[in-house]
């Protein structure tokens, strides 16, 4: 018996994402636009099992198809340190940049270094963050500030996050995390064969 393509499967991408083509096309278009439209900062929210992680998987694939590099993280405690000391230096080392001062640099420094280097390679970097929550306020503040600066400098960067409605709403109403309020927010409903309802 064929598997129902609309059945949630622990973040595994289903064979069909009917009804979410608009969101996927919007993100793909943002990567091709040097003006860095707002879709380069996107947050997906919705109930558990609705397909948030699946959407992260899809945008990561789309970014790679556009020649961008991808860092996938989960917003658990220590995620900024993992990005600063492991993910970004590793990405740079794998693409021709040798950096021996990672431990003395902030996340913002590393993020700018990576985006500048990748721009010289005609590429960009997408960071996805799953399980967004309001518990990691300090780390999210640091991450958001670096992201805001990168967008202000028109760097080739993108961010897509995902989380449950309550923590995402608390995060977006926290005045110390105001940088995330500029992200496109999409509330995901069930995948159907109808046109997308989330805009």
Give the strand pairing for 69-74 and 184-187. Answer: unpaired
Can you read off the two tokens belonging to residue 68? 């961008």
What is the CB neighbour count within 10 angstroms for residue 19?
Answer: 19
Q: Note the pLDDT of residue 38.
A: 62
**Domains in the chain: ranges and CATH:** 52-164+171-187 (3.40.50.300)
Write out the DSSP string of 85-100: IIIHHHHHHHTT---S
Contact between 31 and 63 under an 8 Å Cβ cutoff? The reply is: yes
Q: What is the pLDDT of residues 4-14, one digit of tens each?
A: 333 444 444 44
Q: Which residues pair with 130 in a beta bridge?
A: 74
Q: What is the pLDDT of residues 78-126, one digit of tens each?
A: 999 999 999 999 998 898 887 655 555 899 999 998 999 998 898 999 9
Q: What is the pLDDT of residues 113-127, one digit of tens each?
A: 899 999 889 899 999
Sheet holding 184-187, edge to edge: 69-74, 125-130, 157-163, 41-45, 184-187
pTM, full prediction: 0.85
């Amino acid at each position: 018996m064929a598997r129902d393509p609309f059945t949630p499967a622990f973040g595994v991408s289903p064979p069909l994402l009917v009804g979410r083509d608009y969101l996927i096309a919007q993100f793909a278009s943002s990567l091709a636009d040097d003006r860095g439209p707002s879709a380069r900062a996107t947050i997906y929210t919705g109930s558990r099992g609705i397909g948030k992680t699946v959407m992260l998987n899809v945008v990561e694939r789309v970014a790679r198809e556009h020649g961008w590099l991808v860092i996938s993280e989960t917003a658990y405690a220590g995620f900024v340190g993992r990005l600063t000391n492991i993910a970004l230096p590793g990405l740079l080392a794998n693409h021709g940049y040798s950096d021996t001062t990672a431990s003395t640099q902030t996340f913002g420094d590393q993020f700018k270094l990576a985006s500048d280097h990748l721009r010289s390679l005609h590429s960009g970097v997408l960071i996805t963050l799953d399980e967004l929550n309001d518990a990691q306020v300090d780390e999210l503040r640091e991450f958001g500030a670096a992201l805001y600066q990168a967008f202000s400098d028109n760097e080739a960067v993108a961010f897509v996050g995902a989380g449950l409605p309550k923590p995402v709403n608390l995060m977006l109403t926290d005045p110390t995390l105001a940088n995330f309020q500029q992200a496109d927010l999409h509330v995901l409903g069930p995948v159907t064969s109808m046109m997308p309802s989330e805009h």
